[in-house]
């Protein structure tokens, strides 16, 4: 994973696979406090104590039958740790999971944020039955995007239609532009 | 903003569900699913998704459903996508590039002719 927006996409897709119906993605850029925080909260099926303990282990996976290994969280943990931060996983079985990655904003090894808009666009269009709340804080400015407000504006237009895609891209571009 | 609790999320979900009916009308003629597991993402699946969305915009169509799915179990062939036309067998495309994706979009999704040289096999992985 070359940038943080790809980590966000990966972890959020995990949430969807875990049965999440609503997801919050929060990105806080605080250069003054030298902190960058990524927080992903879902209402998926959650993890029990043993799964939670093992979630950082690169050779752990929930897909026992296929014998694949899950690398998503170990990758993110590594990205956080090399930049003077850490990864925190809180989970309640049957209720949801929150992943919090903290990083040193100015740390030389901190990966760039990358294309956040492409990540949000992919998540929102690719998972039409899941609701997303995206909040991006840069210093004292905050941009909030929610799929429920956006879909209300779209009315009956399909999300993955030409008009839906254009509207989503415009909405995110405008919101993000207000942060810089 | 205070941190969201699981209860807040449940409430958000319930509010959101009220709006779901709004956008579930409308039939889709075709569906393309871009595999978005860790393996797919690392191999460039987001760029494939980006290309698909650009092609939908360019073609100005509204009857193609674009979705994502998890890892299909063939990580070494990522990025992958599955194309399904109504009443036809799904075709799984492997080792995608934006260029191949544009070709598949034009020839298979729009014109209805699968490109067999880009396909792995005919069929689809288990759902759900």
What percentage of chain A has pLDDT greater than the value 70?
92
| Better pLDDT: A48 or A32 | A32
Question: Is B38 a domain residue?
Answer: yes
What distance in Å separates the CA atoms of residue A26 and residue B107, rounded to the nearest whole number?
39
Residue A90 or residue A61, greater confidence: A90
* Residue with more model confidence, B21 or A108: A108
CA distance A122 to chain B (A): 7
- B109 inside domain: yes
A69: pLDDT strictly greater than 60: no
C-alpha to C-alpha distance for B85 and A177, rounded to whole angstroms: 38
Q: What is the DSSP string of B76-119?
A: GG-S-EEEEETTS--EEE-S--HHHHHHHIIIIIIT----GGGE
A147/A63: higher pLDDT: A147
Place of tokens 């709006």: B19
Query: Does pLDDT of A10 surpass 70?
Result: yes
- Of A1, A5, A13, A120, which to mutate for an interface test with B (greatest number of B Cβ within 10 Å)? A13
The answer as to whether B17 is a domain residue is no
Within-domain flag for B82: yes
Q: What pLDDT shows up at residue B22? A: 38
| CATH of range A4-177; options 1.10.10, 3.30.565, 1.10.3470, 3.30.300 | 3.30.565
Ranges of chain B whose pLDDT falls below 50: 19-25
Listed by start position, the domains of chain A span: 4-177
End-to-end CA distance of chain B: 35
Q: How many domains does chain B have?
A: 1
Backbone φ and ψ of A172, nearest 5°: -70, -40
pLDDT of residue B116: 93
B62 in any annotated domain = yes
Average pLDDT on A71-92 reads 92
- Best A127, A142, A162 residue to mutate vs chain B (most B CBs within 10 Å): A162
Residue that is written with structure tokens 């996508």 in the block? B81
Q: Which domain holds residue B83?
A: 27-122
C-alpha dihedral sign at B60, B62, B65, B66: positive
> Average pLDDT, whole number, for chain A?
91
Residue B14 confidence (pLDDT) = 74
Query: Considering only CB atoms, which chain A residues are within 8 Å of B23?
Result: 128, 151, 154, 156-159
More confidently predicted of A69 and A107 = A107
Q: How far is A108 from chain B (nearest CA, A)?
A: 22
pLDDT exceeds cutoff 50 at A67: no
Answer yes or no: is B111 within a domain.
yes
Contacts of A165 in chain B (CB under 8 A): 53, 56-57
**Residue B114: which CATH number?**
3.40.30.10
Is residue B6 domain-resident? no
């Amino acid at each position: 994973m070359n940038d943080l927006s790809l980590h966000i996409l990966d972890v959020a897709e995990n949430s969807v696979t875990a049965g999440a119906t609503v997801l919050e993605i929060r990105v806080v850029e605080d250069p003054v406090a030298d902190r960058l925080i990524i927080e992903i909260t879902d209402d998926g099926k959650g993890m029990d104590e043993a799964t939670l303990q093992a979630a950082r282990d690169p050779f752990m996976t929930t897909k026992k039958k296929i014998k694949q290994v899950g690398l998503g969280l170990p990758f993110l943990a590594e990205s956080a740790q090399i930049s003077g931060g850490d990864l925190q996983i809180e989970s309640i079985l049957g209720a949801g999971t929150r992943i919090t990655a903290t990083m040193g904003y100015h740390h030389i090894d901190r990966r760039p944020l990358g294309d956040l808009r492409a990540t949000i666009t992919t998540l929102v269009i690719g998972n039409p039955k899941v609701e997303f709340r995206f909040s991006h804080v840069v210093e004292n400015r905050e941009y909030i995007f929610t799929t429920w407000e956006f879909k209300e504006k779209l009315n009956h237009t399909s999300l993955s239609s030409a008009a839906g895609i254009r509207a989503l891209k415009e909405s995110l571009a405008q919101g993000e532009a207000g942060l810089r | 903003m205070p941190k969201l609790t699981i209860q807040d999320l449940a409430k958000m979900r319930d509010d959101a569900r009220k709006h779901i009916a709004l956008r579930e009308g409308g039939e889709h003629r075709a569906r393309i699913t871009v595999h978005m597991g860790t393996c797919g993402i690392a191999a460039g699946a987001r760029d494939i998704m980006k290309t698909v969305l650009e092609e939908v915009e360019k073609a100005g169509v509204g009857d193609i459903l674009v979705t994502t799915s998890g890892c299909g179990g063939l990580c070494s062939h990522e990025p992958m996508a599955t194309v399904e036309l109504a009443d036809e067998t799904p075709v799984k495309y492997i080792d995608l590039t934006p260029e191949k994706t544009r070709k598949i979009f034009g020839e298979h999704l729009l014109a209805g002719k699968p490109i067999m040289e880009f396909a792995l096999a005919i069929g689809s992985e288990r759902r759900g």
